[in-house]
Structure 1
Amino acid sequence: GGAKERRTVGWDQRRIGGWWDAYLSVNRSFADAVTAMLKPGDILWIHDYHLSVLPNLVTDWENLEYGGQVTKKVFFLHIPFCSSVVFKELECGGDVLEGMLSADVIGFHTFDYARHFLSCVKRLLGVGYESLAGGLIGLRYRGRTVLVTMHSVSVEPVAVDRALASSPVEDRLGRYRAKYRDATVIAGVDVAQSLSGIRYKLLAYEELLDGYPIWRGRLVLAQRCLIPGARPADETSTLREVRSLVKRIRRKFGDLTVDYEEIHGSSLPIVERLALWRASDLMVVSAVREGLNLLPLEYIYAREKPHSAPGITVASEFSAVCSELNGALRINPFDVPGTASVLDKALTMDPQEREGRRQRDLDFVTSSPSSKWAEKILRDMKEVTLYDRDDDDSDAEGDGNNSDDEMDYLNGGGAMLPREKKKVIDSTSAFLARETALNFSHLDGDAVMQAYHKTSRRVLVLDFNG
């Protein structure tokens, strides 16, 4: 009975109350486990949407136990954050936002997702944001500054290098090359769910073969569909549609035109992936919504070696990786003819442009492992300036001497109690941010317009976040 229910359950607005209660119950279970281990001065890092209210639960416990916040919290979201138009439809949306805002740092992989979050906070809670020095974004919430940051992560070079040097990868690569022979290979590895946009990839591939006859008999689409079992109804309907499209393309252009496999599980083994990347000339991501996806980065890295010709990544403009890779060709997966045209461009691209596009991304792809990603976020956390909600100018200036409690807080040892009306600057850069604001010179609009009208050739340089 339970298995059948998991297969058939869908969205039902009437069941939100029970689902939300279950969600809170899971977060409270995590809060109980975490607070049993937390000590003053600790850093708590919370990952993804499953635990969005956990920061607030831990903060409530700190207030009861210590009379104030004694730890610092990072909340990082690895999926897209929807626009405020969609988010406002959630009955529990305000609670989700308040839970996230109890963290000291809220992280996203792309600016678009951070922008949607900031818009939701403004529209639902009336909380605005400000730009800080160094491109940081701060929210004033309950007398604190909450930092919103964006950082991307790449592959683990040591692990990938070890796998690339292994004999299983070479053996599997040899089998791929024997199978595909002289064909140009387009690779795709996607979760079998509607948001992956596999149908649009197949439709564009069919359009390419229909509209560009020169490619018939010369291409192979190596498509792997992962079946994690997390959303059975979605996966079943997606696979049904994908199988139908694969069958249609094979019937029109031959069985060898599509090399299609379904893999049960959430990932393709690294040996299979790396061999496929090495055998492929293009990789296509056609997601209509997507958060963290390291596969395109792994594809670029796997083809970085001297014996590999540059591969081209074709990425949906709705995927996070599209914002990370400057060398990728961008597509709108809903525009099937346009995607087919981009695929033709990628297939006919000269070696110099291929190499140029690879070079644009190599620095990030090869030097941004998870350890550096974590270091950047923890560094941002140290940039946060904490204010007491009743802070005023005279209290902020003080007498130039720090109390024992203040020094203890700065050293990570204790809570900042509400009665302390001091401004605490947690780092040198935060101090510079305040001084920059005090000495900031506003743009003279009249002077700009006068210079603009006096010239016939103009260059506009627009800075971004600081």
Structure 2
Amino acid sequence: MGFGFQPEASSGCLLFSLLWQPEGSSAGAGPFPLVRRSGGRREETRMLAPTPELRPLHAAEKSRLILVSNRGPVEHWFDDSQRIRRREAAGGVASALGAVAKRSPVTWLAAAASEADKAVAILGGKVRIASDSELRLLELPPAAYEHFYQSFCNPILWFVQHSLGHLLDRRDLASEALASWHAGYLPVNRRFAEAAIEEIPGDGSSAQVMLHDYHLYLAPRFIRASRPQAALQHFVHIPWPAPSDWRHLPSFLVRRLCGAMLANDSIVFQTEAFVENFMATCDAYLGGRAVVRERYGSIQFLGHTAHVTSNPVSVDVDELKALRSTPQWQEYRRALTAPPGVKTIVRVDRLDPSKNVERGFEAFELLLKRNPGLRGRVRFLAFLVPSRCGVPEYASYAKRVFDRVNAINAVYGNPEWTPVTLFYEHNRTQALAGLSLYDVLLVNSLADGMNLVSKEGPVVNANDGVLVLSEAAGSFEELRHGAIAIDPYDVGGTADALRAALSMEPVERRIRQQALRDAICAHQITDWLRQQLKDLSIAEHMKRFASEASA
């Protein structure tokens, strides 16, 4: 069977509904660095749940980690009986941070995004998300959050940081950025900071605060002003581009972003390349006011030293392996299994321009055009998650992707074979079951902080599948030796890589698959978390030592 798409207008957002079609139908450096560097490379020195349980707000607990992110680990919604239900949130950030809450006592602060989230926030309690962890949802002014999320964060900041600023279709980008900054990004960051401050006792000397991603670059400066002794860490999940990419924004805003981030004790990126880009950006935009010491991985600004390092986020291998034995997984796997003699290409992504989905389908179309013998013998399963459909650039991109899929199926398909089957929904178990079946996994993102799919795939795959991986994905640093590398802008080269992967000998497939698994198992989510907490503990102890020495 195949899938077609029908646009629907809903609250100004272009939605696409899946329609089933029967077969055959038409369609200062500090005392020491946190990491050492050698040759430019990093060296270690080291589905539904019941209505959520609410707990009264209470004073901050001394031993708890305070985690701050725009999105929480769960999202709430109303069922047909208007009862509040919840499910795991989509996305790599939510997935990675959810693992943190399961392994360490956490008070998690996040925005109330859905109407059900807001109802939970109004109740004024904390939601238990693990045995020793809880979530506090913040109700934010709708107008401010709209400017914050739908304008400044997405698409402006997201596109700039993915080196896609040239795709922003704005008549006056600078004016829009300034307006959304003052009306949204600044006040929302201040509110997040205030919530964090409420959880931190005294001067913060016993507090550890872990902030996440591009939504909250300003919050550390506000927290530092109120709780000067708090240990602050910021983990940036998305790429940090070269200084030249920031030209799309007014330089005043870039200076404020960099300066606020430098209020952290440690700033952690996914790759060493992003570390170098951040240090270069601070050097370019903060000038002589910031002392950038690349050798020590530190930047001194306004009398405070921030250490800058990399620590790639990863996956929970044991959790992924455990999923394979669940009945739901097995059911999806049976339904998705290819007919005898048919090979499978898979991709799993949010439908985001940075994921380069359209070029991926163009490469598959070129593969079929160049290799007529593959028609009827290879299929493409695409598991795409709806993303930011209220942003014009996303809505228009989604339409182009769906048009491309329908065109490929119309030209090359027949009653017995549909070239592309596309699933447009948030269904993690189904997507992971699909990953277990691939002969080729395509990850051709234009820019990615990490791309956890490229790590999940080799863990769950049972076919000695081949990873075709963009050189622009953050995971490429770790997985390059087991993957086929591609330039994400080169459609012809991607088609060639798909052909090479499909025809690869079993021995080489097995060797590459093992290399990928070894790299992934060598640095799992527990290793990432251990290093993050270690950096926070170092910052806390150094502050305590400095305070005692000056007393």
Question: What's the TM-score once normalised by structure 2's chain length?
Answer: 0.64
SS in 2 for 1:169: helix
SS in 2 for 1:149: strand
Q: State the AA in 1 paired with 2:273.
A: D
Residue among 327, 332, 342 paired with 1:172: 332
Mapped to 1, the partners of 2:291 and 2:411 lie a distance apart of: 56
Is 1:119 equivalent to 2:285 in the alignment? no
SS in 2 for 1:74: strand
User: Aligned residue for 2:463?
Assistant: 309
CA drift of 1:262 comes to 4.0
Residue among 199, 210, 215 paired with 1:50: 215
Residue among 177, 180, 183 paired with 1:16: 177
Mapped to 2, the partners of 1:355 and 1:143 lie a distance apart of: 53
User: Aligned residue for 1:235?
Assistant: 394
CA drift of 1:54 comes to 0.8
Q: State the AA in 2 paired with 1:351.
A: P
Is 1:260 equivalent to 2:421 in the alignment? yes
User: Aligned residue for 2:458?
Assistant: 300
User: Aligned residue for 2:377?
Assistant: 218
Change (3 A) 1:353 1:411: same
Q: Please, which runs of 5 or more residues in structure 2 have no aligned partner?
A: 1-9, 14-145, 152-168
Mapped to 2, the partners of 1:156 and 1:17 lie a distance apart of: 40
How many percent of aligned residue pairs carry the same amino acid?
A: 24
CA drift of 1:187 comes to 0.2
Mapped to 1, the partners of 2:475 and 2:240 lie a distance apart of: 15
Residues 145-160 of structure 1 aligned to structure 2 (within 5 Å): 145-160=305-320
User: Aligned residue for 2:433?
Assistant: 275
Mapped to 2, the partners of 1:99 and 1:281 lie a distance apart of: 46
SS in 1 for 2:501: helix
**Counting strand residues as a fraction of each chain, which structure ranks higher?**
2
Q: Please, which runs of 5 or more residues in structure 1 have no aligned partner?
A: 63-68, 385-408, 423-466
Contact 1:45 1:75 in 2 (8 A): yes
Residues 68-217 of structure 1 aligned to structure 2 (within 5 Å): 69-91=228-250, 92-126=253-287, 127-131=290-294, 137-177=297-337, 179-217=338-376
CA drift of 1:143 comes to 3.2
Instruction: List structure 1 runs of 4+ shifted beyond 6 angstroms.
Output: none
**Counting helix residues as a fraction of each chain, which structure ranks higher?**
1
User: Aligned residue for 1:448?
Assistant: none
SS in 1 for 2:199: coil
Q: Which moved more, 1:331-340 or 1:361-370?
A: 361-370
SS in 2 for 1:279: coil
Residue among 32, 54, 78 paired with 2:194: 32
User: Aligned residue for 1:358?
Assistant: 513
Q: State the AA in 2 paired with 1:130.
A: R
Cα deviation digits, residues 16-70 of structure 1 (max 9, x gap): 23211111101111111111221322111000111101111111113xxxxxx31
User: Aligned residue for 1:288?
Assistant: 446
Q: Identify which of structures 1 and 2 has the higher relative contact order when contacts are C-alpha pairs closer than 8 Å and 6+ apart.
A: 1
User: Aligned residue for 2:496?
Assistant: 341
Mapped to 2, the partners of 1:169 and 1:378 lie a distance apart of: 33
Contact 1:154 1:366 in 2 (8 A): no
Q: State the AA in 1 paired with 2:213.
A: D
SS in 2 for 1:80: coil
Contact 2:12 2:390 in 1 (8 A): no
CA drift of 1:366 comes to 2.8
Mapped to 2, the partners of 1:75 and 1:50 lie a distance apart of: 11
SS in 2 for 1:107: strand
Contact 1:70 1:414 in 2 (8 A): no
Mapped to 2, the partners of 1:183 and 1:317 lie a distance apart of: 28
SS in 1 for 2:297: strand
SS in 2 for 1:174: helix
Mapped to 2, the partners of 1:122 and 1:358 lie a distance apart of: 41
CA drift of 1:125 comes to 0.8
SS in 2 for 1:60: helix
Mapped to 2, the partners of 1:275 and 1:262 lie a distance apart of: 13
CA drift of 1:3 comes to 4.2
Give the length in aligned residue pairs. 378
Contact 1:77 1:108 in 2 (8 A): yes
CA drift of 1:161 comes to 2.1
Contact 1:316 1:331 in 2 (8 A): yes
Mapped to 2, the partners of 1:341 and 1:194 lie a distance apart of: 22
Contact 2:405 2:420 in 1 (8 A): no
Question: What's the TM-score once normalised by structure 1's chain length?
Answer: 0.75
Mapped to 1, the partners of 2:364 and 2:542 lie a distance apart of: 59
Is 1:59 equivalent to 2:224 in the alignment? yes
